[in-house]
């Protein structure tokens, strides 16, 4: 079985409360993580909630990176989804853990888009002629 993509579901705990309220800082950290991981940033959108909390997504050519924060709990839920073989999603994870000053994290990696292939055949992310 081969996978089209890898998805890391992350829970960052004991983060800096002020950082998790700061839409501008979170946007910058998320985009920087993507660039550091050599993802191709296409666009991004973020929103601050009242009284606090930020949600947003960075759309990358290789899929997406999304976040939802709960500053009152020092908690952020992050979804790092990468397709193809050009990006190491754990680089993004490590950058964000440091950026949010997370003291504890839990993470789970999933393989997405599993397909059987002929022996030795490689599953192409964007096959020609489709």
- Catalytically active residues are 63, 68, 83
63 Ramachandran zone, left/alpha/beta (phi>0; psi -120 to 50): left
What is the radius of gyration, based on Cα positions, of the chain?
16
Contact 46, 54 (CB under 8 A): yes
Distance, CA of 17 to CA of 6 (rounded, Å) = 29
């Amino acid at each position: 079985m081969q996978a089209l993509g890898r998805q890391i579901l992350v829970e960052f705990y004991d983060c800096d409360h002020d950082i998790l309220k700061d839409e501008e800082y979170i946007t910058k950290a998320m985009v920087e993580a993507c660039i550091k991981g050599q993802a191709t940033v296409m666009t991004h959108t973020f929103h601050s909630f009242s009284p606090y909390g930020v949600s947003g997504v960075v759309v990358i050519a290789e899929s997406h990176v999304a976040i939802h924060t709960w500053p009152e709990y020092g908690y952020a839920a992050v979804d790092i989804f990468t397709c193809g073989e050009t990006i190491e999603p754990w680089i993004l994870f490590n950058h964000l853990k440091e950026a949010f000053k997370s003291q504890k994290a839990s993470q789970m990696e999933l393989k997405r888009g599993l397909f059987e292939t002929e022996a030795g055949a490689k599953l192409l992310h964007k096959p020609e002629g489709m």
